[in-house]
Amino acid sequence: MNDLRPWLEYLQEIGVRELAAPAPRAASRPVRAAAPAEPARSTAGRSRRAGRTDPARQRSHAGKPATTASPRNEAPSTALGNGADAELFAAFDGPPPEDRAAALQVLREELGECTRCKLHEGRSKIVFGVGDPCAGLMFVGEGPGADEDRRGEPFVGRAGKKLDEMIVAIGLSREQVYIANVVKCRPPQNRDPERDEIATCSPFLTRQIETIRPKVIVTLGSPATRLLLDTRVGITRLRGTWHQFRGIPVMPTFHPAYLLRAYTKENRRKVWEDLRAARSRLDS
Ligand code: SF4
């Protein structure tokens, strides 16, 4: 019960007055991993918005988390989608749409001028996230680059322009989606965020997802994909296939920065297919 206390306090803080009782659970069943090397994982979740009847979410109601144990003998998993967190995530609908902007603001204030991990040492600005607090589609990248660090906004450099093009290509605008990163401060020399940094910062991403409750998440590149899917399988194998994060459909695709570096017809086609699949899922 102690594990749940901080979550309940958070829910209270963001204005949740009551928790929806979880639907009676049918016999527990494991969730099929979509990638061969990916361990079975929790996908408990539920459709949260009126009119949304996504079958993937409905299916996930019936099953408790398949397993939370990591077979790897290493540091604790930084995965976000298992354990008591997932149970609680499945049990409430999130703040009502009209309260989501305020809830994100509360979260931003809680983050403050964060010094929780060593990435604070080199940053200029925290890059929290941007977009529609009620977005149906959420993009998750790995961390800010130089332009983002200067401006305090995600995906505003060359890669950001490419992401904007990708968003427009599926008939949406930047203002209609939500964009966030796994870590909120720029890693030195744009290196990948390290395990301890991800473990420290990613709870804020979880809470952004909890608040926004997107219908579809698109992960951009390996770090975001590995975190949300709790896997070490590379993005090349995972992209183009559906996965879940706490019942929310997740489509991994290449990071726009990678796409710019390897701007081949084949890679452009793959990213387009991934985004088109995400758009279809969003419309379903
Ligand atoms: Fe804090 Fe996240 Fe920045 Fe680390 S990366 S200092 S946890 S905001």
List the chain pLDDT tens, one digit each, 284 residues: 444 444 445 444 434 444 433 333 333 333 333 333 333 333 333 333 333 333 333 333 333 333 333 333 333 344 555 455 566 565 566 789 999 999 999 999 999 999 999 999 999 999 999 999 999 999 999 999 999 999 999 999 999 999 999 999 999 999 999 999 999 999 999 899 999 999 999 999 999 999 999 999 999 999 999 999 999 999 999 999 999 999 999 999 999 999 999 999 999 999 999 999 999 999 99
Record the pTM: 0.72
The residue whose CA has the least distance to atom 3 of ligand 1 is 185
User: Cα–Cα distance between 225 and 182 in angstroms, integer?
Assistant: 10
Atom in ligand 1 nearest the alpha carbon of residue 123: 3
User: Cα–Cα distance between 186 and 149 in angstroms, integer?
Assistant: 6
- Residue 42 in any domain: the answer is no
pLDDT for 95: 86
Indicate the length of the chain as a whole number.
Answer: 284
User: Cα–Cα distance between 276 and 140 in angstroms, integer?
Assistant: 17
- Residue 221 in any domain: the answer is yes
pLDDT for 88: 59
Which residues surround ligand 1 with Cβ inside 6 Å? 111, 114-117, 119-120, 126, 183-185, 197, 200-201
Atom in ligand 1 nearest the alpha carbon of residue 200: 7
Number of domains in the chain: 1
- Residue 122 in any domain: the answer is yes
Give the Å distance between the CA of 113 and the centre of ligand 1.
9
Give the Å distance between the CA of 116 and the centre of ligand 1.
6
Containing domain of residue 129, as a range?
72-283
- Residue 13 in any domain: the answer is no
Q: Which of 159-184 are b and which e, b meaning 16 or more Cβ less than 10 Å from the residue's Cβ?
A: bbebbbebbeebebebeebbbbbbbb
What CATH number should be reported for the domain holding residue 137? Answer: 3.40.470.10
The residue whose CA has the least distance to atom 2 of ligand 1 is 201
Q: Over the Cα atoms of the chain, what is R_g? A: 18
DSSP of 155-188: S-SHHHHHHHHHHHHTT--GGGSEEEESSSSPPG
Give the Å distance between the CA of 120 and the centre of ligand 1.
6
- Residue 134 in any domain: the answer is yes
CB 208 within 8 A of CB 139: no
pLDDT for 94: 76
Atom in ligand 1 nearest the alpha carbon of residue 120: 6
Give the Å distance between the CA of 122 and the centre of ligand 1.
11
Paired residues of 141 in beta bridges: 181
- Residue 27 in any domain: the answer is no
- Residue 53 in any domain: the answer is no
Three-state DSSP class for 242?
coil
Give the Å distance between the CA of 241 and the centre of ligand 1.
30
